[in-house]
Structure 1
């Protein structure tokens, strides 16, 4: 496949945005993509930020033609734990029709499909690319960039591929994304670590206090989040919308996860809990001794990282306020608590029947030989809500990955058949858009 070789080169760049040691690599990935777009006739600009640059590129052929803005990101998650990878994360390897590498599906492979689709494209459409290097850290500089450059980014449709198909061989149009509120909670006890024999029984233990707090964040029977006001702004899902959803094979999902039950909020189906209900999950807990053997220490500090996935019409800042107030109310005497707001994003709903969505549905059906299914997605892409608000343009969310692509985990992959068909469908979409414009 002609699109594969440059993708392997792109994937070999360790553009890990969370790790300062890879700052030059992140920039190298931006420059690599900039060069490829310039070869295709784009005028490109690299906008510097305090962290990683934003790449903007445009190829404007005709002021009367429709304009498409493609969004994606070139940064990737850290590859750890390295020992669980079957092949090195930044030495892309093709096995059994899949490419394995960090960023293969999230998001370099899917982004590359949009670039590769332009080879030989004859459709008369204007194209713009907005590609960031900070998506994996919450897009802190892209959102202000979008607000400041509304006219530059103006388009008739926004096209995003940074998600998953509902199932293998099932073309999917996503019309909803959950939002995100991500916090870090730190508890301070004594001013230094203490010997548990000398001070056990009188010294505060932040790990124990975190356990008490965690136990009061969710109801252990119903699975409901206990933060006061958390559900006040949750928009109910209509029965009409639920009829759009494909059936979920719950047994297959249990098998994929290696579990016997699918826990969650009582009274809602697994699919509704995945797509249309808010969540609260501790993502990490730290404190005390983590090494081999024993060390009888009462730690001075402990903490946890906490993510809340949000749905329309929840606001991440409002939820952060509610969560912080509740956490501080739960903090037992004798401890000092700090709540840090790491990043967030607003939830998104788009019109599944907008004209661009209908055109993409037609393109997918022509390429895959079956009509697409319509789905929401549980993940978050912070900039989508911002683009929707700032530009007022319809958004088409075309996921080309799969739910078992191991995003953010070892052995991330991208199916090459999805790459190939994705390229064809995107190319066909541009043709249909030009004809309709």
Structure 2
């Protein structure tokens, strides 16, 4: 590794300048005015893959934004690694909070600031650079490599699942590697082995055929806002447990090893409360510790409420309709569609007298879990040890990346989440950045992983 480290040290400036080029492209997938920028980013990555020696490089158009595919298949008996990443980014609002323009990459305090720096252009680019480093220094790769890089992750990857199901033979591999997560702390690597799934619903309550005057009808007819609050309050008990029947049927308790891992990570409750401006951390199932609640337990959250008069001043009406948006974060073994059905049934069966209830089902995403003792997970842990001098911690992530489960199921291959971001790098927020220490060490770690799984 020392020779590779020296090689990368000499190429550091050149590598960072190339990353800057990619970060300058405003490839915002959710805004139609950036459609040309999406194509430009796809072309930039495609050309880079060709230049480093990847073969059969394609820009595959979809109904939305393009997918980039490339491969280097030269070993008959060696494992094949499929690298997934995304080149699209979040919008930049509010712009006035950025210290430097979001698409003019700037380096401050050994960090590169730009939209997409850590999510996910910077981390995805580590894999391209690792392949380039090995090909330039060794003349070959220790394993076979495929790339699948999309431009729609930030809008839910609507076209990638179909691409996976239609191209299983093309994408066949022994392991899928994704760098779109974070480390535990500076200098402390982490392997995320679990992601929560999700499902969404919207509930609407209707009473009379119009809003009514509160002086003429107040006290005599039902108020849709009151009934909605009554209905929503039935979803949880006083300790934060979800009251929906069978909601927890498929939830597994953590193993003793997992519980010990969480304890070993340490948790400073007072520090978190101070940073959030809170006086306590109650919420969710209060009989579980906070780190468990936010990563390993399912949730049901009310994300939005509206009904009645919303404008300035007072309007004395009794609203005839009220609405709420609900999302759940789900854990391993829970089925999003099943949970949607259970919540819908609960809301309909608990409808207050004097109203009609309509429940609309929204997006879903499956949870994901890879066993910690998986051979590929252990090779990744060894690679982190080689470069960072520390074994990684194993953590469950409270968020969702639904496409991870799609890769696992469609390709029947283990998925390894090798993150190199840090929790405080402002992904999705102003002043997003990526620590350059992890830029170089990330490339080295990926090189080490590829060499380890050759054996």
TM (norm. structure 1) is 0.89
Which residue, out of 187, 197, 213, partners 1:179?
Answer: 197
Kindly indicate whether the alpha-carbon contact (under 8 Å) linking 1:351 and 1:394 is maintained by their aligned counterparts in 2. no
C-alpha deviations, 1:43-62, integer Å up to 9, x for none?
A: 22233332222222222222
Taking a change above 3 Å as real, the CA distance of residues 242 and 140 of structure 1, as seen in their structure-2 partners, is: same
Alignment of 1:24-423 (within 5 A): 24-42=36-54, 43-122=56-135, 123-187=141-205, 206-219=224-237, 221-245=238-262, 246-251=264-269, 252-263=271-282, 264-287=284-307, 302-332=322-352, 335=355, 337-423=357-443
C-alpha deviations, 1:227-260, integer Å up to 9, x for none?
A: 2211111011121332233332233333443323
Matches of 1:184 and 1:274, distance apart in 2: 23
C-alpha deviations, 1:352-396, integer Å up to 9, x for none?
A: 222222222122112112121111111111122222222222221
C-alpha deviations, 1:299-346, integer Å up to 9, x for none?
A: 676533322111111011111111222233344456555434332221
Q: SS of 2:132's equivalent?
A: coil
Give the Å deviation of 1:84.
3.5
Q: SS of 2:47's equivalent?
A: helix
Kindly indicate whether the alpha-carbon contact (under 8 Å) linking 2:86 and 2:152 is maintained by their aligned counterparts in 1. yes
Deviates more, 1:411-420 or 1:373-382: 411-420
**Long gaps (5+) in structure 2:** 1-12, 136-140
Matches of 2:155 and 2:384, distance apart in 1: 32
Deviates more, 1:6-15 or 1:424-433: 6-15
Matches of 2:432 and 2:353, distance apart in 1: 44
Q: How big is the alpha-carbon RMSD for the aligned residues of Structure 1 and Structure 2?
A: 2.8
Which residue, out of 29, 35, 38, partners 1:23?
Answer: 35
Matches of 1:99 and 1:292, distance apart in 2: 43
Matches of 1:298 and 1:235, distance apart in 2: 45
Matches of 1:23 and 1:157, distance apart in 2: 32
Deviates more, 1:230-239 or 1:106-115: 106-115
Q: SS of 1:237's equivalent?
A: coil
Kindly indicate whether the alpha-carbon contact (under 8 Å) linking 1:137 and 1:343 is maintained by their aligned counterparts in 2. no
Taking a change above 3 Å as real, the CA distance of residues 419 and 211 of structure 1, as seen in their structure-2 partners, is: farther
Give the Å deviation of 1:425.
0.7
Matches of 2:37 and 2:313, distance apart in 1: 38
Give the Å deviation of 1:135.
2.1
Q: SS of 1:102's equivalent?
A: coil
Matches of 1:139 and 1:95, distance apart in 2: 32
Taking a change above 3 Å as real, the CA distance of residues 295 and 267 of structure 1, as seen in their structure-2 partners, is: same
Q: SS of 1:414's equivalent?
A: strand
Taking a change above 3 Å as real, the CA distance of residues 256 and 405 of structure 1, as seen in their structure-2 partners, is: farther
Q: SS of 2:231's equivalent?
A: helix
Matches of 1:88 and 1:335, distance apart in 2: 51
Give the Å deviation of 1:418.
1.8
Taking a change above 3 Å as real, the CA distance of residues 11 and 339 of structure 1, as seen in their structure-2 partners, is: farther
Kindly indicate whether the alpha-carbon contact (under 8 Å) linking 1:66 and 1:433 is maintained by their aligned counterparts in 2. yes
Taking a change above 3 Å as real, the CA distance of residues 328 and 370 of structure 1, as seen in their structure-2 partners, is: same
Matches of 2:432 and 2:88, distance apart in 1: 14
Q: SS of 1:309's equivalent?
A: strand
**Correspondence for 2:9:** none
Taking a change above 3 Å as real, the CA distance of residues 84 and 211 of structure 1, as seen in their structure-2 partners, is: farther
C-alpha deviations, 1:370-428, integer Å up to 9, x for none?
A: 12111111111112222222222222111112222233333333222222211111122
Taking a change above 3 Å as real, the CA distance of residues 171 and 305 of structure 1, as seen in their structure-2 partners, is: same
Kindly indicate whether the alpha-carbon contact (under 8 Å) linking 1:138 and 1:343 is maintained by their aligned counterparts in 2. no
C-alpha deviations, 1:261-309, integer Å up to 9, x for none?
A: 2223122112211221111223333456656666667667653332211
Matches of 1:11 and 1:299, distance apart in 2: 48
